[in-house]
Structure 1
Amino acid sequence: MTANMNKPTGKPAKAASKIKRTLLTVGIMVAILATSICGIRIYNSHKYSAPSESSFPRYYADPADLSLYPKNLDGITVSEVHHGTAQGFHLVSNQDSLKAKRRGIIITYGGSEGTPGYENAVQFTQNGYEVLALFMFGQPNQPQTLSRIPLEQFEDALEYINEKTTSTSPITVVAASKGAEYALNLATKYPQISNLILISPSAYTFAGLDFEEYGSSWTYQGHELPFIDIKRSSLPVFLRDVITPLLAHSPITYKNIYNSAVASDQEIATKTISIKDTEARILILAGEDDCMWDSPAMAKAIQAERPANVTVQVYTDAGHLLTGRSYINAGDTVVCVGGRVQANHRAFIESNELILKTLEQWHRRS
């Protein structure tokens, strides 16, 4: 009887064996998955590596460092602007043939990268315009990140124009991406802005891009402008378009994140940048294949409110930047900006031609 009680039945041994086989199978699957992810990351790291010669000027590495911006330019006098919250550069042609060729002033802003739209500023000055290339953030007397930026910064820019520039009117603001969102908001508050050229703009006020000090991108009279909260975008979309590409080291796409945040907002009207009371003439340029956000749709939404004042040009197969490749390298992250190289190149040439033609009409010397 005792011998029978102590005799192994075989069931615990079988159970242990089954557990071992299961763990072995799981281990093999995890190893295969890890190896696959590693292989995909290695492949994508090579595929989406930054070119040896970056297509961006060197100041993009540290946009806040003024010393990185080229100032010894043929035919152009560049001086730094430090006027309260108006921070950046003042560019004037020193060629006799171009001096006083155009009336008024152009103000350029960059996007979320933090530059003052310096490339555009140089090009405009080479064509006879007096230009202020201004920062939105990152400089003395300014917010250090793209969050809660006061629209009132523009008042210091206006004061500088009245005190330091040759011709004070008309004022045209040229801005891209988040800078275009800023510029459109400025035009609703400051009638001194005669014209806007917006590249890949937003029709809404979105959240700022500081996720530690999270809030609206912009403030006015001490209050945050109502904003669309991108943290409330679709979780499945976030996992598909951000987390999965991060794991695979492939390009992140933000367009659907913004679209889902817009679609889920129950108070979208309060976050829309209304131009119904804005007299400024507006030219909008956008790429059909913008992967950062849906600038073509937002451009048409802006135009719908005041069609007589707004012209929209959408470039087929072009992306958010209207130039370069379909993706950019931001540190260890690859970001999809959209478009095909040839289409982006074509859009770059055609959009520059349209911008210069439009500026010539708006700033014609009487």
Structure 2
Amino acid sequence: MTQGKPALGVAMVGYAFMGAAHSQAWRTVGRVYDLPVAAEMRVVCGRDEGRAREAADRLGWAEVEIDWRRLLERDDVDVVDVCTPGDSHAEIAIAALEAGKHVLCEKPLANTVEEAEAMTAAAQRAEAAGVFSMVGFNYRRVPAVALARQLVEQGRLGTIRHIRAQYLQDWIVDPEFPLVWRLQKDKAGSGALGDIGAHIVDLAQFVTGDTVAGVSALMETFVKQRPLAEASSGLSAAGSSELGDVTVDDASLFLARTTGGAVATFEATRFAAGRKNGLRLEVEGSKGSIAFEFESMNELLFHDHTEPAATAGFRRISVTEPEHPYMSAWWPAGHIIGYEHTFTHEVRDFLEAVGSSRPPSPSFADGLQVQRVLAAVEQSAAKDSCWTAVES
């Protein structure tokens, strides 16, 4: 599908959990979707040359750099994909945009509102010169979630009244699990709030088309100290006998109102024993409801409240038809897809937009808006759950 098309050279910074997921997407996207441009996996960047070379061989990258600044000097690099911890997002993304490189940046956009504002300003300047950017909220690209958005846009739910969003994991329930970077505020920005709470904030806003206006929140850190990490890979790690302080939240919960008048509840925790990736979204309106669970990601529950009571109820939609969002490129109807496909869809949307010289979505401005919600949650929790408006 790429023969004779202009090619964009891609460089990826970081090669761990998200780097592997993004690499799968870059390898796959041109083989399943007919895109206006091709993507060439030119170079992966990491601080440890040996580990970066191993990652390049394993993940499909042609070359290795150990200083991300070198990427900005290369004429064969058109796109910089930022898959590093949040403390480096702003520096890398802003420099790449100023160097004329398109940027795909993992979520949350940054560790602070101030960093996200600087990134958004840089993105807006770059866009005027035809250089584009996108923040990677991959769960938007689940076909069932995209279908839910379509149902809301079509008015099938009527006036939105209730939103319930949860993201439940259990990978740090063990108090002996090491102090990896995701548990350190200077690297991660926040804990469950930014890591997984950002996803459900974005999903709720994406599906309903509305934004969070204010929150009342509480946050908790259940395990205050953990063994220092000696080695880590993805969500696994080995620890030492020395302890260090956990400086982020283990769980964050908040009530919210949206600018459209709906009420909402959000819960993000990495202490839900038995829940591995329990993302759930419910939206209820005056004419109907939808319910989605990522652990059944190929299904959407939809209730049409305008139907006669004798036959009304939730129907299970198997979101595998060619007519469903993203699905026409994959398998025959009824054949399901998985987690990795969300990143392929993300890269597809990014390349379609960039190749057509239009801004991708979600933009850095969208990422900034989510960052402002996260900041309001932290501010509210620090003030005994005081109602806190989200900065606009």
- TM-score w.r.t. length of structure 2: 0.33
More strand by share: 2
Higher RCO (CA-CA < 8 Å; seq separation 6+): 2
- TM-score w.r.t. length of structure 1: 0.34
